[in-house]
A = this chain, B = another copy of it.
Amino acid sequence: MTQVVEPELDRFERSRVDKFESRRGELADATLETLGELGFARTSLRVIAQRTAFSHGVLHYYFRDKVELITFCVRRYKEHCVTRYDEVVAQATDADELALMFADALVVTMQEDTAMHRLWYDMRAQAMFEPALRPTVADLDRQLEEMIWRVVKAYAVLGGRTTAVPSLTAYAVYDGLFENCLSRYLAGDEAASDQLREGAGWLITTVTKA
């Protein structure tokens, strides 16, 4: 009996859950888009809903409250960007090539995913005031640190070098460079991209040593 009925229910249940999750994702994407454009403080549920085919009430059908919606969005965003440079690491055959490809990848993502990066820096700043955001931010920060560290280690291995600083420090300086350039890029500074490229190239030689 259970062998016959349960799979039926499972399939059924799964499709229902899938649909639910799919709509959650749809709403989360609209939320991310709005957050990236307006920033944390200026984004309201009504404005988010305005960018979907639905009305503002639907957000409370799919998410308990604003906090759950936003944490869901951040986790979704995380998956998009936390392995961004892994294929660069995989493809590069020597240290110099890796350095160039990595610097280029940084520039490209700064130019293409500008709004999402800006949102990330906004969220991290908000986390300094709102302890509720800290676990999520700290988790994402750690993953970004590991991502940078994979690049640095790969560069060291390919170039026969060793790392010169802890991964935390390496991440911090790369992040500072990126944030600085992003800020200038947003303000219309044409030189920001080149500064990022050159800064990244210089950094990878200094966080490692012969």
Given contacts A176-B174, A187-B138, contact A126 B41 (CB under 8 A): yes
Rounded to whole angstroms, the CA-CA distance of A187 and B172 in the bound complex is 16
Neighbouring B residues of A165 by C-beta, 8 Å: 199, 202
**Contact A128–B186 (Cβ < 8 Å):** yes
**Contact B175–A180 (Cβ < 8 Å):** yes
**Contact B129–A169 (Cβ < 8 Å):** no
Query: Interface 1/0s, chain A 59-75, versus B by CB < 8 A?
Result: 00000000000000000
Rounded to whole angstroms, the CA-CA distance of A175 and B173 in the bound complex is 8
List residues of A (163-203) whose CB comes within 8 Å of B's CBs: 164-166, 168-169, 171-183, 186-187, 195, 198-199, 202-203
**Contact A202–B169 (Cβ < 8 Å):** yes
Partner of A169, one of B128, B141, B177, B183: B177
Interface of chain A, main secondary structure: helix
Looking across the interface, which residue of chain B has its beta carbon closest to that of A130? B39
Rounded to whole angstroms, the CA-CA distance of A164 and B205 in the bound complex is 12
Number of copies: 2
Interface residue? A11 (CB, 8 A): no
**Contact B183–A177 (Cβ < 8 Å):** no
Interface residue? A97 (CB, 8 A): no
Looking across the interface, which residue of chain B has its beta carbon closest to that of A122? B125
Contacts A125-B125, A128-B183, A172-B176 known; list 13 others, CB within 8 Å. A39-B125, A40-B41, A118-B129, A141-B183, A169-B177, A169-B199, A171-B180, A172-B177, A172-B179, A173-B203, A174-B176, A175-B179, A179-B179
11 CB contacts below 8 A, A to B, read A40-B41, A121-B125, A122-B129, A138-B187, A164-B202, A165-B202, A169-B199, A172-B181, A172-B199, A175-B180, A176-B176
- A-side residues, CB < 8 A to B, are 38-42, 118, 121-122, 124-130, 134, 138, 141, 164-166, 168-169, 171-183, 186-187, 195, 198-199, 202-203, 206
